[in-house]
Amino acid sequence: MDLYEELVHGPGYAVCPVENIQLFKKLRDCFIEKINISTESEKNINVVRKAMAKMSKAEINRSMINLLTFTDLSDMMINSCPSLVETLCGKELFIQRRAHTIINVPGSEHSKQWTHYEMMSGISPFTYVIWAPLHDLEDDGGAYHIDQKSSLEVMKKEQEAGLVNGPTVLNMMEKQKPARLKFGQVVVFNPFVLHGNVPFNSDLARVACNVRFQSYNKPLLQKNSDYLKYYRLP
Ligand SMILES: [Fe+2]
């Protein structure tokens, strides 16, 4: 099955290799430099993760302000996977102006991202998301994705019951097993696929980035040029 088939008619998500690993390593180095947490000169993601694992959510939020200067994160993510993006959306795109960086702190006391799908946030149904951890995922700190068929069944059930985020969705977190990816692997998924993460134990925080993109020729929904920018792949 080719990637487009997998994403549109198949499971709705796929694990893919980063195509430009040099650029992706540069992205990780930029993150370490810009978040400015470690005092060591050596660029080591695990040193940063270890420091962040001991920080409170509020402290992490404060250091996230440092990432406001990371203005080319979106472009770097898209350019790390150019053929993947082109296969799904062509060369002319709308991409998220500011890709997200998410830092998850270990420990059950930290609230976790409950099961959700991206359409909830008002992006168009033609949008895809690339989700990329900045290190190997050796514990349950990653993300789980639920195949499109099961996701749609859950949504239909909720619709029939007149619910959004009812108990079925909220309780899904309990039995999920996040994928263990290597640095240099990404998950690409469509906006109908349910996903989330679970509490995990580790000495290290989890760092991942995500970026949304769609074809320039497909309609937008609520999100417009405040959120997206025109981008042409080289
Ligand atoms: Fe999400």
Residue 195 Cα distances to 115, 150, 191, 192, angstroms? 5, 11, 10, 9
- Residue 146 Cα to ligand 1 middle (Å): 12
pTM: 0.94
- Residue 42 Cα to ligand 1 middle (Å): 32
- Residue 186 Cα to ligand 1 middle (Å): 14
Per-residue pLDDT of the chain (234 residues; tens, 9 = 90+): 699 999 999 999 999 999 999 999 999 999 999 998 866 667 899 999 999 999 988 898 899 999 999 999 999 999 999 999 999 999 999 999 999 999 999 987 766 777 889 988 889 999 999 999 999 999 999 999 999 999 999 989 988 999 887 888 878 777 889 999 999 999 999 999 999 999 899 999 999 999 999 999 999 988 888 899 999 999
In this prediction, residue 111 carries a pLDDT of: 63
- Residue 83 Cα to ligand 1 middle (Å): 23
- Residue 195 Cα to ligand 1 middle (Å): 6
- Residue 233 Cα to ligand 1 middle (Å): 24
- Residue 41 Cα to ligand 1 middle (Å): 33
- Residue 120 Cα to ligand 1 middle (Å): 9
What's the rounded Cα separation, in Å, for the pair 112 and 197?
6
**Of the candidates 117, 144, 110, 152, the residue with the CA atom closest to the CA atom of residue 10:** 152
- Residue 114 Cα to ligand 1 middle (Å): 9
- Residue 22 Cα to ligand 1 middle (Å): 26
- Residue 52 Cα to ligand 1 middle (Å): 22
Q: Which DSSP symbol is given to 219?
A: P
In this prediction, residue 51 carries a pLDDT of: 92
Q: Angle at Cα 58 formed by Cα 54 and Cα 60, nearest 5°?
A: 55
What pairing do the DSSP bridges indicate for beta strands 206-215 and 100-104? antiparallel
**Can you tell me whether residue 231 is helix, strand or coil?**
strand
In this prediction, residue 29 carries a pLDDT of: 95
What's the rounded Cα separation, in Å, for the pair 126 and 109?
36
**Can you tell me whether residue 134 is helix, strand or coil?**
coil
- Residue 129 Cα to ligand 1 middle (Å): 9
- Residue 172 Cα to ligand 1 middle (Å): 15
- Residue 133 Cα to ligand 1 middle (Å): 14
